[in-house]
Structures are given as C-alpha cells and as structure tokens.
Amino acid sequence: MQNRTKNFIKRFVLFLVITFVVSSMFVYPKMTIADHIDSELVQSTSTTKEIQKVFPDAAPAPKKNTGDEPPRNLQDVKVIPGGQSIGVQLETKGVLVVGHHLVNGNKGDISPGEKAKINVGDVIVKINGEKIKEMSDIKSYVEEAGKNKKMMDVTVKRGKSTIDTKLEPVLDEKEKQFKIGLYIRDSAAGIGTMTFYDPVSGKYGALGHVISDMDTKKPIEIEDGSIVHSSVTSIEKGDNGIPGEKQARFEEGNHRIGSIKRNTDYGIFGVLEKEIDHEKYNKPFPVALSHEVEEGPAKILTVINGEEIEEFDIEIVSSVPQNNPSTKGMVIQITDPKLLKETGGIVQGMSGSPIIQNGKVIGAVTHVFVNDPTSGYGVHIEWMLQDADIIPHREEKQTAA
C-alpha cells in the first residue's frame, strides 16, 4: 500500500507477523491529522466529489441523554444547528479486507487469502468459529495454523451474504513468518462537520453522507464509534478540477463527546454524551420539509479557523421536493466573499455544515462540484432526521409506470 501525500495521512496501524498492513480510512495517529478522505466520484450533471470531513458541536445537552426517546412528528421537532468541526473514530464490524499481497513461499509467490477466494471488501467475522473483533485477534490463529500445518476455518461477510472458506497460512521464506497474503483494517478516523443536535433526545446527525472505505469504496459497517472535539488548523483552497480541503487535528482518548451508532447514506448518527457549546445558536430551530425550501438566499454554519463557528451566505440554486429519501436534494452556491476568499468555495471537511433558511434548518452541505468549487449539493434535513430516529421513517411512495 502506498502512502498518500499531504492531502491525507495514512497510518499503518499494525504490521502483523502475517503482514496484515492496516491503513485506516480517514486515518489518524495520536496527534495532528490531515483531514482528508479520498472519496469516490459521484456522477451528475457536473462531476462531483464527496466531502467527507467535518462534524460540529451543538448546544447544551439534556441532563438525561439516553437517546431512547421514540420518534415524534416533524412539526414537534426543533433542533440546534451544528457547524462545529468534529473528529470521527470508527471501529468496523470484524476486520475489513482491503487488499491482497504475495507471500514468498517454498512453492513460489502466492496469496493464501486470494486462493481461499477472500475478496477485497469482505469482512472477516470469525476464525475457527470464534468471533473476530480486531486485527490483533487474527495473529494467534495464523501462527497456530501455520506451525501445525492446518487450515483455518474463516467466515467472511460479503454484502448481505455470509461465506465460509478454508485458508492455509504460508511460511514466508525470507522473513520466516507465517502469512496469509491479506491487507486488513479494523478502524478509521477523520474529521467532519456536525449538522444538528436534538435537545430532547440527545441524538445528533453529522456529515450528510455515508463514510466509505478509501480502498474498497464500500460503506463501512461499524461496530462502534465516537466523535470528539476537532480544531481546523489550515485550509487548502479549492480550484477548478481540484477540490480544496480543511485540515484539522483531534485527540483520541478521553475527549469523546458522543457515540456513533449508524453510518448511512445520509450521514453518521448517535447520541451526545457531553455538553457542547454553540457560539451563535443556543436555542432550537424548527426544521423544513423539502417542499418548504425556496430558491434564493440561505446561510451555512461551518468552521474555517480553530473551533470558531461562522455563518456564511449561500444561494439555493434549485431544490427538488422529495417524497422519498434521496441524497441530492438541493444545488447550492457559495456567495459569501469571505468564504470564497478563504476556501474558494465548498471544500472537503465542510460536509455536514447545516443550511439555514427563513429561520429553519433545511439541510446540510454534502458534495462539491469538482469543476466549480463554488457550487455543490445539499441533502434535505428530513432524511437525516429519519436516520437519526428522531422522526418516523416514511413509507416510500411507488410511482406507476
């Protein structure tokens, strides 16, 4: 696996004796990270690129922040808009396979994992019937099977299917270590922007789109996760054909401010566990349905320096009333002179920045047009509220052919 440039830092989390190289997705060491994720291109009328980076702090958390409150009607919902930069730490369900490599065995070069028909994107969930939670769980099974010349019974999850296979480790002739020829990863980290926080339930939503693995391009299935405070250290301006990005730092450890329970097409969702401040908005705002969104002026909240949340002018170029969930509900354009000067428009890390119009939270920034960084897509807030389990999920309406 190759190290990326300054656009993002890739850390080899663990180089197991079996040569499992771990490179987490929005990776971080226990220090400053370059907040960047290589995102897949999204095809549309304009070429777009996902902006996977910034989660915000919200306002005072309720005294009892359990997240167990049932969904309620949209007209009863008021949320506190976000805008804060947050660090994201994810742990996968099982161990994700992100690549194959050859092992120099006595019968030639071979990848035992590939021979066992384990594919990139598979998730190793069991070995010899025992649950696998992290990469370090695998090492002892490989050594034992290799020394005893036995097969390992490996269970992988591939999409919605569960597949059993047998894998025999091979002794690397040069390194004298048993290997299985797979690159794996069990965690990911990066930054993003918080969209909203519900003061009634303690639930929050951030990012506005799914977090995908940078190698497999598939959504990450999470076992656990947390959000932490983050500080923006610099901005790389965007230009035509070159998306800009926020760079930020955060610390792992005891700085957790909330859980991550879901990673969906509409963002990440969980429950806040600590109070977080909001400099501009400390009272709840009503939310708007897609048909209430108007073409014309609006505001976004985001951080471009340190932890200061700022308000910037944008234009809603178009908005599509939606009866069913869809990730691209609005086309937006940055019009604020300061934001254009500092960032060039929408940059990676701005994803999740809340959009406010007519005193209501209407959605979040999600994508930038690569060929025009002043413009991009936004998602309607209703779909984020559904996935946060703050409002009930609508039954999808069928259209007659």
3-state secondary structure of 398: coil
What confidence score (pLDDT) does residue 281 get?
80
80-100: b or e for each residue (b if 16 or more CB lie within 10 Å)? bbbbbbbbbbbbbbbbbbbbb
43 and 152 inside one domain: no
Strands 244-249 and 347-348: parallel
- For residue 329, is pLDDT > 50? yes
Give a three-class secondary structure readout of 139-170: HHHHHHHHHCCCCEEEEEEECCEEEEEEECCE
> Is 351 considered catalytic here?
yes
Phi first, then psi: give them for residue 234, nearest 5 degrees: -165, 165
Location of structure tokens 């070995």: 127
Catalytic residue among 198, 336, 387, 389: 336
Query: What do you get for the CA distance between the two ends of the chain, in Å?
Result: 48
119 and 44 inside one domain: no
For 222, residues 6+ apart whose C-beta sits below 8 A from its C-beta are 90, 91, 92, 93, 260, 261, 262, 263
CA dist 211 and 229 (Å) reads: 19
117 and 162 inside one domain: yes
Location of structure tokens 């939270």: 361
Q: Could you tell me the CA-to-CA distances from 277 to 160, 201, 274, 307, 309 in Å, in that order?
A: 40, 17, 10, 11, 10
Q: Where are the alpha helices (DSSP H) in 74-159?
A: 112-115, 136-147
What confidence score (pLDDT) does residue 60 get?
35
Q: Is residue 69 part of a domain?
A: yes
> Is 209 considered catalytic here?
yes
Q: Is residue 226 part of a domain?
A: yes
* 203-222 per-position pLDDT tens digit: 999 999 999 888 888 888 88
258 and 368 inside one domain: yes
73 and 111 inside one domain: no
Chosen domain end from 156, 180, 204: 180
What confidence score (pLDDT) does residue 253 get?
60
CA dist 386 and 78 (Å) reads: 14
356: domain CATH number is 2.40.10.120
- For residue 4, is pLDDT > 90? no
Catalytic residue among 209, 278, 367, 380: 209
Chosen domain end from 180, 212, 240: 180
Catalytic residue among 24, 351, 353, 375: 351
355 and 251 inside one domain: yes
Number of separate domains in the chain: 2
Q: Is residue 56 part of a domain?
A: yes
What confidence score (pLDDT) does residue 162 get?
95
Q: Is residue 283 part of a domain?
A: yes
Location of structure tokens 């939606």: 322
- For residue 20, is pLDDT > 50? no
* 339-389 per-position pLDDT tens digit: 999 999 999 999 999 999 999 999 999 999 989 999 999 999 999 999 999
161 and 307 inside one domain: no
* 23-72 per-position pLDDT tens digit: 222 323 222 222 222 222 222 223 333 333 332 323 333 344 555 666 66
* 144-183 per-position pLDDT tens digit: 999 999 999 999 999 889 999 999 999 998 889 999 999 9
CB-based burial label for 231 (10 Å; 0-12, 13-18, 19+): middle
CA dist 313 and 216 (Å) reads: 36
pTM for the structure as a whole: 0.76
Domain range enclosing 234: 30-92+189-387
CA dist 168 and 134 (Å) reads: 20
- For residue 290, is pLDDT > 90? yes
Average confidence score pLDDT of the chain = 80
What confidence score (pLDDT) does residue 273 get?
92
pLDDT band of 126, cuts 50, 70, 90: very high
CA dist 279 and 281 (Å) reads: 6
What confidence score (pLDDT) does residue 395 get?
61
Q: Is residue 74 part of a domain?
A: yes
pLDDT band of 243, cuts 50, 70, 90: confident
Residues paired with residue 208 on neighbouring β-strands, in sequence order: none
For 273, residues 6+ apart whose C-beta sits below 8 A from its C-beta are 61, 65, 256, 257, 258, 259
164 and 205 inside one domain: no
122: domain CATH number is 2.30.42.10
144 and 274 inside one domain: no
Chosen domain end from 148, 180, 212: 180
